[in-house]
Amino acid sequence: MESFEGPLQDLWEMPDLPNLKHLTWDWWWWLVMWPSKKHPGRSEQLMVLWSTKETPSIYVNDHNWAAAAKPNTNEENLLVLPGMVAGWYFDGEKMFEPLVLQESRIAAISSKHKNWPSDSEFGGAVIALCEQLLSTGITEDNKKFWMRIESDKAAIKSGSPKKFDIQMTPWNPALSKARRSFQKYQNNMGYDILRVHGCKAKGTIDNENFEGSAYLQKVRVQAPTVPWYWGILHFSDGSYLDWFLPHLSLLALSTSNKPWQLKDTLEVPLRKAGLFHDAKRQRSEKFTKLKFKKIKGNYSINSQNNEKEILPRFEIEMWNGRTIIVLTVDAVSRAYWSFDQPTRGGMVSHFCYNEYPLKVSGIAIEDEFGIRTLDDWEWIHGNAEHSWGILH
């Protein structure tokens, strides 16, 4: 596969959904993973998010972000939005969080813009309009994404790398074709998600080279969120696995960022979904039958309050008519983003979004051809999410 496919030009445009105050949220999100030299079986990971939100004000990790997502340019094929760039970096042992936290106007420009440096109908970029280099985009031949990130001074002072320069190229048709999920509900509520499930990634961290994989999504959500579990795995042979479980939980009412709470005891799934792009069998399989369990795992970290924090283990089973997947993954670190949004009647709504770099402790995939286990892949890299609270 030489070039990325799918509706890639939509990456640089806003979806056809009218903005809703307090609810509309747009973001571009990259997750890059590569083998850890310090800890075999783990991966180093970089997450970067370019975000804009339709709200007068919101606190992000206690930073008062004066948002409001209406574009402030009338030029065709160019959007300039009030936004924020946020990111973290996990070196296999230490989490640098935040690696980046910069409030900035964000420009999304398409190759159709009059000042784009070529005549190609393809290409585009998202650029933070600040002194720091915080940008991503795709070349005019659709053969390469790029991302260039400079770390915040505070992160560099704490030991993080200064610069990340990464190129993403196609992996295979199942992973590297952009795919859309769109749903519109009443009163213009809904979501619009454009995903590239997997790319090959190559780049430099300061002056050190690495090779790994990457995942991209561009999202608009404009509805109150419920708690969810979500996770992805990239396999060395080009396979991909994910799971998604939105659920009703007392954690929707939580205003705490603590990872273990009494409200964590009751969860009612609203949907169960899994997807496996199987490179060896050359097929993609969907799953609607899942069992999911979150328990205290074998790893811990020191929290921001310098208290010992036990990380979760996720035990997952999914099956359909021909394939059964049994999976155990351990979180080896945690990054979280805390959001507090003033809303109607003087209320403040709270949302906690957690990301966990994973180590695959065990996996078995059984189908009509036999059983595959951890030894069948050179590496498996992954990340999981757990969110709670609700913004409204």
User: Could you check whether the bond before residue 312 is cis, i.e. omega within 30 degrees of 0?
Assistant: no
Cα–Cα dist 162/153, whole Å:
8
* Residue keyed to tokens 């509805």: 223
- Asked if the domains at 1-223 and 225-392 fall in one CATH topology, the answer is yes
**Strands 240-249, 208-222: pairing kind:** unpaired
Instruction: Determine the pLDDT at residue 186.
Output: 73
Question: What's the CA gap between 97 and 94, in Å, rounded?
Answer: 9
- In this prediction, residue 184 carries a pLDDT of 75
Token pair of 191 as six digits: 């979501």
Residue 374's pLDDT is 97
- Domain ranges in the chain? 1-223, 225-392
Query: Along the 392 residues of the chain, how does pLDDT read in single tens digits?
Result: 899 999 999 999 887 777 887 788 899 999 999 999 888 889 999 999 999 988 888 889 888 887 655 666 657 778 888 899 999 999 999 999 999 999 999 999 987 777 777 666 788 999 999 999 999 999 989 999 999 999 999 999 999 999 999 999 999 999 999 999 887 777 778 889 999 999 999 999 998 999 999 999 999 998 888 899 999 999 999 999 999 999 998 888 898 998 898 777 778 999 999 999 999 999 999 999 999 999 999 999 987 667 789 999 999 999 999 999 999 999 999 999 999 988 776 788 899 999 999 999 999 999 999 999 999 999 999 999 999 998 87
| 72: exposed, middle or buried (Cβ count in 10 Å: 0-12, 13-18, 19+) | exposed
Cα–Cα distance between 204 and 146 in angstroms, integer? 12
- 107 close to 113: Cβ distance less than 8 angstroms: no
The pLDDT of residue 342: 85
Distance of CA 261 to the CA centre of its chain: 24
Cα 26–261–325 angle (5° rounding)?
70
CA distances from residue 139 to 25, 145, 193 in whole angstroms, order as listed:
26, 6, 21
User: In Å, how far are 25, 195, 365 from 222, measured between CA atoms?
Assistant: 6, 18, 36
Name the CATH code of domain 1-223 (choices 2.40.370, 1.10.3110, 2.40.50, 2.60.40). 2.40.370
* Burial zone of 60 (CB within 10 Å; 0-12 exposed, 13-18 middle, 19+ buried): buried
Beta strands at 348-367 and 124-128: parallel, antiparallel or unpaired: unpaired
Model pLDDT, residue 28: 97
Which residue intervals of the chain are DSSP H helices?
153-157, 173-176
Q: Which residue shows structure tokens 């400079």?
A: 150
- The CATH code of domain 225-392 reads 2.40.370
Distance, CA of 126 to CA of 160 (rounded, Å): 24
* Ramachandran angles phi, psi of 79, nearest 5°: -115, 130
Cis before 18 (ω within 30):
no
Q: 0.85 cut: is pTM over it?
A: yes
Q: Considering just the CA atoms, what is the radius of gyration of the chain in Å?
A: 20
* Positive or negative: CA dihedral 324, 195, 104, 16: negative
Please report the pLDDT score of residue 123 as a whole number.
87
- DSSP assignment letter at 376: G
Contact 108, 128 (CB under 8 A): no
